[in-house]
């Protein structure tokens, strides 16, 4: 079997609590890997086997008005070139001197304040990671929060910890892998819909 390295998650701070961003759902049943995408001109490359997307982002929700903003970014580029991003210059660089010439492993951008005004959708957040659980996504966390966002402002928050715990219990009792995942559930619904459509088409052919 192919074993995938667990990827590092972006982080979102909400009411003073840091959460891993476990899953994102945008309108149209799309599931982006991050709320923010750095400029394509940076030529971002993999930071490590645990960070294939080449960057880690940190976000924060304002306790005053629910404003969702990008506050920090860690990036690696293929050309070791690190210009300002969103008007912010890098504050530090991690440099490796192994194997000849020095190589910048990544650069850090702090003190950012980029309102995620173009994002509407929902975000699944996880805290209290459970290393002993053999699963993925939200099922790896003891505390799970779902937040709804409209044009970059949080409008609602729902505690999903019990639903996720029920999925873990279902997996233990049935032996069937039932992780809590919006994308997985969406794919299963699509497969079921296509199966039903195929059966209906077969039924129509039989009526001819």
Mean pLDDT, the chain, rounded, equals 86
Nearest to 153 by CA among 28, 63, 86, 75: 63
Tens of pLDDT, residue by residue over 15-57, are 999 999 999 999 887 899 899 999 988 889 888 888 889 999 9
For 33, residues 6+ apart whose C-beta sits below 8 A from its C-beta are 24, 53
Mean pLDDT, residues 162-189 taken together: 85
Highest mean pLDDT among 93-102, 105-114, 182-191, 196-205: 105-114
Q: Is the pLDDT of residue 97 over 50?
A: yes
pTM strictly above 0.85: no
CA dihedral for 109, 115, 117, 119, sign (positive or negative): positive
- β-bridge mates for residue 48, sequence order: 51
Q: How far apart are CA 121 and CA 107, in angstroms?
A: 29
Classify strands 141-150 and 153-159 as parallel, antiparallel or unpaired: antiparallel
């Amino acid at each position: 079997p192919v074993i995938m390295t667990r990827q590092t998650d972006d982080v979102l701070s909400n009411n003073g609590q840091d959460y891993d961003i476990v899953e994102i759902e945008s309108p149209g049943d799309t599931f982006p890997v991050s709320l923010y995408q750095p400029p394509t001109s940076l030529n971002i490359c993999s930071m490590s086997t645990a960070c294939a997307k080449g960057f880690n982002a940190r976000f924060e929700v304002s306790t005053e008005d629910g404003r969702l903003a990008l506050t920090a970014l860690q990036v690696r580029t293929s050309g070791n070139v690190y210009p300002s991003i969103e008007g912010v210059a890098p504050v530090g660089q991690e440099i490796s001197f192994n194997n000849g010439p020095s190589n910048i492993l990544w650069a850090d951008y702090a003190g950012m304040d980029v309102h995620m005004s173009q994002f509407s959708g929902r975000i699944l957040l996880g805290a209290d990671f459970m290393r002993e659980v053999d699963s993925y996504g939200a099922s790896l966390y003891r505390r799970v929060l779902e937040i709804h966002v409209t044009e970059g402002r949080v409008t609602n928050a729902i505690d999903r910890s019990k639903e996720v715990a029920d999925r873990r219990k279902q997996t233990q009792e049935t032996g069937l892998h039932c992780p809590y995942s919006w994308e997985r559930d969406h794919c299963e619904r699509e497969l079921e819909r296509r199966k039903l459509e195929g059966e209906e088409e077969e039924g129509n052919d039989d009526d001819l």
